Amino acid sequence: MNRITYEYPKDGKYGRYGGKFAPETLMPALEELEKAYLRFKDDPEFKKKLKYYLEKFAGRPTPLYYAANLTGKLGGPKIYLKREDLAHGGAHKINNTIGQALLAKKMGKTRIIAETGAGQHGVATAMACAALGLKAEIYMGAEDMKRQRLNVFRMRLLGAEVHPVESGSKTLKDAINEALRDWVTNVQTTYYLIGSVVGPHPYPMIVRDFQSVIGFEAKEQILAQESRLPDAVVACIGGGSNAIGIFYPFLEDKDVELYGIEAAGEGLHTGRHAASLCAGSEGVFHGMLSYVLQDENGQILTTHSISAGLDYPGVGPEHSFLKSIGRVKYDAVTDEEALEAFLQLSKVEGIIPALEPCHALAYAKKLAEKMGRDEILLVNLSGRGDKDVEVVANRLGVKI
Amino acid sequence: MSNISSTFNRLRKNSEGALIAYVTGGDPSPKYTPKIVKALVEGGVDIVEIGIPFSDPIADGPVIQASDVRALSAGTTPTMVLNIVRELKKTIETPIVLLTYYNIIFRKGVGRFLEEASKSSVDGIIVADLPVEEASEYKEYAEEKGIDTIFLAAPSTSSERLEKIVNMDSGFLYLISVFGVTGMRDHVAQLTIQTLKRIRQYTVNRIPLAVGFGISKPDHVRTIISYGAEGAIVGSAFVKIIEENQNDLPILLDRLTKYAREMKEATKLIS
Ligand SMILES: Cc1ncc(COP(=O)(O)O)c(C=O)c1O
């Protein structure tokens, strides 16, 4: 294995993945963004500001919690949860939105646009923008607006404008399409604050860098609490930002096994899922060469998952690279399995998790069966489940 | 010399600009497309752009997005569009250019796609989301097959980028007239004229420059031609005619021909 960590991917490529497949109108903006990011990322004043907002506004560092009850129940390795559910807004998304909103401000942009699926990135964008005095406009699929009504209202409370997207499948991919169309039109004044490690270079790199705070903290915390590294790390994969965030500082630690878990929806064989890495093929979509769910003609497929945040037919290019070299193992779990994990963690640990990381939890359960009691398993609990309570109640046939 | 280059040469001699018309292949159904193309040619269209529909056309506004949906709902595939072009080229000499998004090409395999395009006598290809930085493999195959690679320039394109683009470009250069997606606009913006003047300095005597996005009235055509454009690209306006008349083929074809004729007239300079 030669190179694993692409601190700064040349030409935006991770192996053969990534790149900048964007309309010409956006190319100069992507160059400008890259230049600005490289200029500010190591700038002491920028770093100080970022640190300030991450600590005092977002509540970092988030705890690394030893899930003693779950560990006892499963009877295998010691299970630790990285508590991104305790970050401001209830998910890891805030790490990225604060970073990018600060960058936008440095670049002199006053209007921020973003897409959102579950609404978590939209809420996190609205929060960061309100805090920093920026105007936020959020594109959200009309279908997602229905299943995540609470988050739509939260975004509006935070002063953001929410634009319903009626095209295509009316979910996350269409929200990104619409945000890109807005950006092409208003690129001179507008900053596109993308929500995951997807899109054309430099976005996958920028979002990864801002999210890697999860992994750097977790590494320090596990060393402090256990005096050693974990044996395995598990995270769920939508676009892949919480996963790359926790994986990145462990990539060179060869003894730490890394698992990225996608949404198998109703089952990979049914075609109703969102597992691009496990069941997709290489394609060029939303500005990047990566794994995508597509038909034999290259048309992008609609996806299905119980969790809106994983309902996306593409995945970040760095994950495609990590799959290609075998550094990370990618697998998928079904809606049903995620739901079971949701119920279990709530009852056993007193933590209601978001449906997205329930995919990681469900896989951790399977993995635990194969691991010894002296081993350590780290799960990225990327968000809390308040937003999903209604979906779960419906699914269980409970009226609330 | 390519069919596209000789078309521009011929028009230049007549002091005319080129009328370049875009329609989405398979809209409203694949069997209409050959008739639609012939109606355009009959109206005087000099170059026909046929879109291969894509599920996620991020550079397109609502009118062309809707045409992609119609074409895909009618079961249109890239292979069907290539076959339509092959049949058309048996009877018409008008250059045909494919316009699509890169995944359509990538999925088939870049080499195989260009091989099939060449067998269908495609004259040129435009890829909405393939900037020069990512285009070296595509360019190599296209050159080998003698297919023109038409790249795009935008108001935001710097002189430095423009130089790279012009070097990789063949057939004509597609100038995006505004910041935005495809769609009809009321008038030619000041920005369009400024950009046209700036970009023309790089293309003059090297490659014909055609302007698109928003061009929908004869007046628009006259304006851009008078500022030195050698072609006017009209898309959404033709696609809108298809949308509005999709249930009545004879009227649809008649309207396309009439509108093309009106727009073609405006490309003729009376000097
Ligand atoms: C709590 C939570 N986890 C995970 C995701 C998936 O995104 P990513 O794969 O980028 O972390 C989302 C997306 O909305 C989310 O809200």
Tens digit of each residue's pLDDT (9 = 90 or more) over A167-220: 988 889 999 999 999 999 999 999 999 999 999 999 999 999 999 999 999 999
| Residue A34, pLDDT above cutoff 70 | yes
Centroid of ligand 1 to alpha carbon of A202 (angstroms): 20
Q: Does the ipTM exceed 0.90?
A: yes
Chain B residues closer than 8 Å to A289 by CB: 106
Catalytic residue positions of B? 49, 60
Residue A188: its pLDDT value, please? 92
- The CATH number covering residue B141 comes to 3.20.20.70
Q: Provide the β-strand partners of residue A323.
A: none
Question: Which residue's alpha carbon is nearest to atom 15 within ligand 1?
Answer: A309
The answer to whether position B125 is within a domain reads yes
Residue A169: its pLDDT value, please? 82
CB pairs under 8 A between A and B: 109
Evaluate whether B175 touches B211 at the Cβ level (below 8 Å).
yes
Determine the atom of ligand 1 nearest the C-alpha atom of A237: 9
The answer to whether position B95 is within a domain reads yes
Chain A residues closer than 8 Å to B129 by CB: 21-23, 284, 287
Question: The pTM is what?
Answer: 0.97
Tokens coding A22: 């964007």
The answer to whether position B243 is within a domain reads yes
Distance, in Å, from the CA atom of A128 to the CA atom of B148, rounded to the nearest integer, reads: 47
> What percentage of chain A has pLDDT greater than the value 90?
93
Distance, in Å, from the CA atom of A350 to the CA atom of B53, rounded to the nearest integer, reads: 50
Contact of A177 with chain B, judged by CB distance below 8 Å, is answered with yes
Taking an 8 Å cut-off on Cβ atoms, the answer to whether A283 and B154 are in contact is no
Report whether the peptide linkage leading into residue B78 is cis, meaning its omega lies within 30 degrees of zero: no
> What percentage of chain B has pLDDT greater than the value 70?
99
Which of helix, strand or coil describes residue A63?
coil
Range of the domain at B255: 3-8+18-147+216-263
Which sign does the torsion angle of CA A89, A92, A93, A94 carry?
positive
Burial A16-41, CB ≥16 within 10 A → b, else e: ebbbbbbbbbbbbbbbebbebbeebb
Distance, in Å, from the CA atom of A254 to the CA atom of B50, rounded to the nearest integer, reads: 51
Taking an 8 Å cut-off on Cβ atoms, the answer to whether B155 and A296 are in contact is no
- Lowest-confidence region among A84-98, B14-28, B257-271: B257-271
| Residue A249, pLDDT above cutoff 70 | yes
| Residue A263, pLDDT above cutoff 80 | yes
Residue A1: its pLDDT value, please? 44
User: Among all residues of chain A, which has the CA nearest to that of B179?
Assistant: A185
Residue B270: its pLDDT value, please? 60
Evaluate whether A314 touches A173 at the Cβ level (below 8 Å).
yes
The answer to whether position B186 is within a domain reads no
User: Among all residues of chain B, which has the CA nearest to that of A302?
Assistant: B55
Classify strands A64-66 and A78-83 as parallel, antiparallel or unpaired: antiparallel
- For A362, phi and psi rounded to 5 degrees? -65, -40
The answer to whether position B252 is within a domain reads yes
| Residue B23, pLDDT above cutoff 80 | yes
The answer to whether position B157 is within a domain reads no
Give residues (CB < 6 A) around ligand 1. Answer: A 91, 117-118, 120-121, 196, 236-243, 309-310, 354, 356-357, 382-383
The answer to whether position B195 is within a domain reads no
Half-sphere exposure of A294 (CA within 13 A, CB side): 24
| Residue A2, pLDDT above cutoff 60 | no
The answer to whether position B111 is within a domain reads yes
Number of folded domains that form chain B: 1
